[in-house]
Structure 1
Amino acid sequence: MTIRRSSNDRLALGALLVLAVGTFTVGTDGFVLNGLLPTIAADLRVSEAAAGQLTTVFAVTYAISSPLIAAFTGRLDRRWVLGAGMVLFTIGMAGQALGESFAVVAIARVLAALGAAAFQSNAYVLAGALASDERRGRALATVSAGMSVSMVVGVPIGVLAGTWFGWRAVMWGIGAVAVVVALLVPLLPGVRMPTVSLRDRLAVVARPPIARVLGVSVLGTAAGFAAFVYLPVLVAPVAAGAMISWLLIGFGIGQIAGNAFAGRATDSLGPARVRAISLVGTVVTLALVDVAVLSLPGALVLALASGIFGGMLMVPQQHRLFSLAPDAPTVALGLNGSAIYAGGALGAALGGVVLSSAGVWWVGPVAAFIALLAFALSLPSRTRVAQSA
């Protein structure tokens, strides 16, 4: 793969930190909203169910726009796309803070999602493109850590700030951090990815190996969301109120640990083995949900283990896509971002159906089965094994 870079060809730690702060900012916005839903619903004079659709609006916009943005901005220096994405994200945050009606806030969520889609996938592209092959996993893990840290730090701080100062102040705070990131983006090394025609870019998803990887991202994310979204219901017999926050913090700490391990392990063991550890661990953890939630210590271990194994998945996925699509890594990683958000929506929907139709005790087993499907899809096909032999 030929990459046209600026004169600074070395991916410095400072550049990775800028990208990680960007993903932290986007992640905090995505995760903190659920904790603020009652306040937002009351302020906008809608039901909590209606306010929850602000999350759906964001997810759907991100899933659809991410590959399209990658396709239409392929010729540009990644810094332009990163900067424009963060500026648009900031405008979306300001619109949410100022919006006096549900419709205005929903439109602002669309703008924020467009900006997040432009920034997030390109942050991984920039990190992966500038890192050497033997250090690519660690570079991707550093950027991905921003999302994990947002769970541990961003969400609790955001929820507390929303309680003290109101949810609009939280939106302003996230927007302020986004402004700082936007100002730092021009200092990053420049990268121009190989130019590919629009037809070829959109055809990336039709490549069987890439489609399998994206399928694993959808199912792996869906498995986690099917249970995680309904965590308060699952642990209701042993934890409620503030204790839920501690469970979420435990989940976030697990995400950070799993992500950090995945970075180095992907470089040393290869993406296939790390992905297998992640998915098998997720299957076992989710299969034991009904036992774990019988006690508070069990619920804490469940949250931590879910975070660890879930946090291990995306680094090997991104690494694999980068290798499979050297001619269009921006599109491939953009599609993976869409797959993650699609999986989240699918998991939340399936978990809700199971909860309402079969009861809380079936949520864990169904989520485990989805994770098992993801693992089965990740296994090499017989055709590829035969050709390798």
Structure 2
Amino acid sequence: MASKVVIVGGGVIGSSVAYFLRASDPGVQVTVIERDPTYARSSSALSAASIRQQFSTPLSVQMSLYGIEFLRSIGERLEVDGTQPSIDLHEGGYLFLATPAGVATLRENHALQTKLGADISLLDQASLQQRFGWLNTGDLAAGAFGETGEGWFDGYGLVQALRKKAQSLGARYVAAEVVGMTLDGPCVREVLTSNGEKHACDMLVNAAGAWSRNIARMLGIDIPVYARRRSIFNVSSPARLAACPLVIDPCGVYFRPEGRTYICGTSPSPDNDPDDLPLDQVDHTLFDDVIWPALAHRVPGFEALRVENCWSGYYEYNVLDQNAIIGAHPDVDNCLFANGFSGHGLQQGPATGRGVSELILHGRYTTLDLSTLGWQRVLENRPIVEKNVV
């Protein structure tokens, strides 16, 4: 068992690993190296911060089922000195909409999700119109709605709560950038940081998010994870949508309430999704050409919209299959990876932190087996097919 663990990246993944390690074994020395302690450019703080069980692969459903259990009990779990954190969890549900062409997939996914314990209702066109009267259902055939266990929360608040709890348990956070590593054959012995420090380690965890590729390169490993910009728009409208969930249109555009306004977005087309685009350059063309027309079609009340604010954050995008890569690479003996969540990191963070801590402390998963997300599928070019990528 490793006695000195260095975690690169202090976002939701790295801080979750740090929390579970120190909570499980106070004897493990944990150092978290975070290049931006303000989290101003972190994916955790800039995301739409939501959670769902509506996936098409069993493990993703199970990870998010644990995620909602964790979020519901965050006050008790992450209490520090009598103060319980709040992340404003709002279980407003996800609503996946389908045209006739998508009904079979929606039904297949629904069967899997409910079998695993997710509280999802399958709604026909008439039921959609009855429950969500503000929707244009003319071209829809069905929808899947999360009655409980799905919704949105304060992502920045979650990161801060995990970080503060990990620190209270004895994890050390270092504000610096990793600039190099000392290797002894297939083992990492030291991590070198921009402040001139050297951090000895028995185990290294790469939880560097959108910058994980740089860390992997220092180990001589090529990881198929790239920083892909995703723009989010906060809009106001005279429309008041009663009981509005997070809605996923068949075209891929999403929207959800944010107080008295709404946030919305979509992924750009594959031919217009390069790596490492500047975060301070929001893709307004995507809003004008794709998002707004889709919103106005789906919700007639959204024909009148005004952009109040907008920002961009990075997906740590796994180009192989948009699923996380969790576990060891065969070329390095003492490094665990937790990268490539492709927009699912906040909701899968608790299950990932617990799982990675189990690998460090026990050499195996003792709760939820995450091994299908390991490196083997990457090295063998066997992508996991997830149908509900958002």
Q: Fold match, TM over 0.5?
A: no
**Normalised by the shorter chain, which TM-score bucket?**
under 0.3
Higher-Rg structure is 2
| Higher normalized strand content (fraction of residues) | 2
| Higher normalized helix content (fraction of residues) | 1
Q: What is the TM-score of this pair, normalised by structure 1?
A: 0.26
Q: What is the TM-score of this pair, normalised by structure 2?
A: 0.26
